[in-house]
Structure 1
Amino acid sequence: MPANPSSVLAARVRTLVAEETPRAVALRRELHGYPEICYEEFKTAARVRDELTQSGITHAVGLAGGTGTIAFCPGNAATAVGLRADIDGLPIEEENTCAWKSRTSGRMHACGHDGHTAILLGAARVLKRLSDECALPHPVRFLFQPAEEGGAGGERMVADGALRAHEHGPAVRRIYGLHNFPGLALGSLATRKGALFASSDRFEITVLGRAAHAAWPHHGRDPIVAASAIVLALQSLIAREIDPVDAGVVSTTTIHGGTATNQIPSSVVLQGTVRALSDSVRKHLEMRLQEVARDCAQAYRCEAQTRYFNGYPVTRNDDASTVEFERIVREALPTHKFEHMESPVMGGEDFAYYAQQIPACFYLLGVEDGQWKSAHLHQPTFDFNDAAIPLGIGAMVMLALADDGRSRA
């Protein structure tokens, strides 16, 4: 089988995708009904394994704390192309009324990972059927990853050898991953070179003062006033310390302090998130956030204790992989439209950990059309558009078949 799929092969792929789509849609809706949050995806992982076993696809289990799975499809080359999907849900109460809505209170697939999982399983089945007909140009490895939603499952998958040579297949030389994106037209595949998703860190600042009766504030040291000054001062980090052509976000999202209207409390706790698109901006914001909190608190005779938690790094597409992705979409996917993203997304994505190890391209899958109405990601009325499933399967199959490993950057 050639690395550049012929029209005959492309037609065969379209036929197989059409045949596999009903099964993938049914599976997506089944998964939607029992969402599981990070590192608790036991039923989801078991269902993935069942599908792989029924399809005769070799796989290995128990990665990333137990719920990660990798699967293998053989091919002729000495290295593999990787395809990754995340499998976890979110701790959100679903408000949809569809027949397949979540049956677990306080849990839902509000980010479309049920769709991602169904797409990757569909692609695995198509590629397995093709490999039974003739040898694939190179091996393909499928990564079903838990805990994308804050659990850094990608980091643990990498640590557990998800990309390394395995008894069932060679090492992965390049990896692709997708995310559905409301607002992007159905049939569109969008990405860009370089930074695609921001780093995602969080902070907690405890402002310590001295309690006093609200009628005699001079007897205390008011942490509410100090905390308010910190919240305002943090905004100057973006406005006055970051180059306007760079991007960064500092958002204070929770403030907790006080229990009575006539008492000044002894402490206030601030929490929030920090986002950046470069390592230099990320490091600067981490350093300056702690300095600003300390100095503002001292100005009000209080003390600030800051805890800073490094989360996901910047997700970066390497140039060669992005060029290869665009070539494949334009040459081998006539039903899809390539869209170049002018700007990155300030959300976080733990696909970044794969991209730190090997050449990688992450892309957005369009799901918006005139028939499908849904909220955006992480909303209680979000639902995946099943019309995107065959498009997602077809894209992943062709990425696996047509990637020839050459650098065109």
Structure 2
Amino acid sequence: MVKSKAKKLKIAIFHLAFVYSGGGERLVLEEAIGLEKLGYDVTCFSPVVDRKGCFPELLSRVKVKRILPKILPSWYPDVELVSILMACLLVPLLFFKFRNYDFYFGANQPGPWMAFILSKINRIPYGIYLAQPTRMVHPRLIDQKTGLKINDGFSLINFYSLIFKPIIKYLDSKSIQSARTIFANGSYAKGLLEEVYNIETINCPAGARIKEKISNEKIMKRFTGSIGIDKKTIKKPYVLITNRHFPQKKFEFAIEALSSMGKNCPNLVIAGKDTDYTKWLKKHYKKNKIYFTGLLSESDLDRAYRNAAVYVYPAPEEDFGMGIIEAMAYGVPVVAWGNAGPTGIIKHQEDGLLAKPFSVKDFSNNIMLLLNNRRLYKRISKNAYGKVISQFTYEIHNSLLHRHIKRVLNKRN
């Protein structure tokens, strides 16, 4: 007699939107893939899903469903925000759609709100994962300067944030504080979240995929020859950026830091889907040695990282910095600001370099130091790779999620 297999526990993950190939989207998809490997049946739900614009290869490996059917055309004004608001309002009426799950997981707002309200109705426990306090009610200084946007084009998100702030703030706090387990993306975010919401969180930083072990030979290849990316031939050494193209990322810090090097300025490669911010950069920095690659396939992104001499992270107020650990997984030295999230990842002059906030000159000097000092470069390269292996892998990340989800489910039983 053949024994029947044990029934897989089902997890529903709720995420803001899959519209861009950014760190937040990658992390949720990697969590879904990792939890599936650990024996769960995982489905991601979101108000907005763009299967071409958000990591098409990763998205194809995960069950991702829209919360509501797509009704509005893509040209409709503020279509993403309208879709998100409608999902937030109507998800309680769709409780029956989510009643056969064992655990809800809210990945940043409005994920926690959706998990909270469905948990109340269906009596199913939920946990949440937060990268930062909700920006609609707790904007960073950089958000206040640039404004909030979900995608390109006209948006009323800042208007709604102002008008409905009291109710949004209440529901935000209630849905976060009521979670059975709360994960924070790194030590910096953990401190912020605990202060803002008066909660206890579990430090569960994002991960990276481990690449093959680096060697001195591979390191030195980053400084000679050229590489073809997106039908462009780029001379090495080059500096790499892979952040999403939003004004909060302040690519101009890196561009100006490299420009100040004069004739010694290396090429700058900026990967990622073009946005209105990309158009602004192309208009204002026409004469600079910059290559905009557009959205890269996973294999081309791998090659861009593997061949980069230096990775720069110019965002001034980032809560973590997934691009940092992705670069470190390739042994590519990183230059970032000695402020906010990067300080919880990089130890200065040991596994990366932290520039004085927000001195473009010091940022430039740190890049030049790496390019000119091979002994320091090799040491940082190997230390960065070693730190990712020991602290920042998806296996470590997803195992921590699994352990605490299991703890919650065991208590329920």
| TM-score of the pair, normalised by structure 2 | 0.27
> Larger Cα Rg: Structure 1 or Structure 2?
1
Q: Give the strand-richer structure, 1 or 2.
A: 1
Q: Give the helix-richer structure, 1 or 2.
A: 2
Higher relative contact order (CA 8 A, sep 6+): 1
| TM-score of the pair, normalised by structure 1 | 0.27
